[in-house]
Amino acid sequence: MTTIIDVAKAAGLSTATVSRALSAPEKVAKETRARVMRAIEKVDYRPNMLARNLRSDRAFSLLVLVPGIANPFFANVTAGIESVAWQRGYSVFIGDTRDSREREEHYERSVEMRLADGVIQLSPDYGFDEQRRRASYPIVHACGCELTAAPSVRIDNAGAMREMAEHLIAAGHRRIAAISGPEQNPHAIDRLKGYREALELAGIGYDPAIVRHGDFSMGSGVEAAKDLMALTPRPTALLCMNDEMAIGAIQALAAVGLDVPGDVAVTGFDDISFAAHSTPALTTVAQPADAMGAKACELLIDEIEGKEVEEKVHVLPHRLVIRESSGPPR
């Protein structure tokens, strides 16, 4: 059975340095951590994690609450979380909440039972009793919104959607429909706010008759687009609040013989990997998903380890990605 002494010899380091790399990786240089990890794999070392956890009164595990595990955007955020957690000596557990408060509470009990040290929440703040939750365990929002009280990482959702609507207005569109998310979803609320602001700045009246609410799924984009295309006059552009609904909308338009962007322009939000490969390639807002997850993980681990977190809200930059799906109306 290999020991920490074997790891130290293989890495060419002292046992104290190896021990510090395992117990407090944030205090060890990145290159040193990499040497220790390579040595651990080489000698097949299996540290006694239970003993380490008992000594430190920590589980060295993080719980990530994901509203939809199949959503590729959340997969990218989770990849960023896992990368930082690995570097700092923590494991990551995923809880697929499916936007259910009951399922969230089920997973949260693992933190209360000390099976995890804290929570990274990927759903926006719906106004749950977060003060009670934060009194019990650390929590950070990786996809926060303007209302989020806990430490959070986010983009300017309203500003990003305002810029996208302005892009369509500049192309000559005036009848711009919106396919939004659930009415109570804070991200959908912020993005709808940006859409309305752009219309008002351009002197275009907001028309609730050309706004539909989906659930961020491709299927809801299909249904919303079918409904909007049945209107007279029909919209010349569809502003979708995420990429999956936008791709669904493009499919629905193609099914009835409408050309994108010739007949109807379509835009999305997130810049998931499929966006660049849809037909036509999707104009969208790129969120730095990986960076959002990484920063949220840093904030959570710093809080768990008792470090002072001075800046509670981190607003990361977004960018418009203009591709083939948006263009001027005929």
Are the C-beta atoms of residues 320 and 167 closer than 8 Å to each other? yes
Are the C-beta atoms of residues 148 and 330 closer than 8 Å to each other? no
* Bridge-based pairing state of the strands 265-267 and 237-240: parallel
CATH class (in words) of the domain with range 157-287: alpha beta
Cα separation, 274 vs 201, in Å, equals 32
Domain ranges of the chain: 4-47, 55-155+288-316, 157-287
Fold: same for 55-155+288-316 and 157-287 = yes
* Bridge-based pairing state of the strands 91-96 and 61-66: parallel
CATH number for the domain whose boundaries are 55-155+288-316: 3.40.50.2300
Cα separation, 126 vs 176, in Å, equals 28
Hey, what are 67's tokens?
Answer: 């509203």
Cα separation, 168 vs 126, in Å, equals 30
The answer, yes or no, to whether the previous bond of 261 is cis (omega within 30 of 0) is yes
- Per-residue pLDDT in tens (0 to 9) along the chain, 330 residues: 678 888 888 989 988 888 888 777 767 888 888 888 888 888 887 665 444 444 445 678 899 999 888 888 999 999 999 999 998 889 898 888 887 788 888 887 777 667 788 899 998 765 444 554 555 678 899 987 766 667 889 999 999 999 999 999 999 999 999 999 999 889 999 999 999 999 999 999 999 999 999 999 999 999 999 999 999 999 999 999 999 999 999 999 999 999 999 999 999 999 999 999 999 999 999 999 999 999 999 999 998 888 877 778 899 999 999 999 998 887
Instruction: Report residue 118: phi and psi, to 5°.
Output: -175, 175
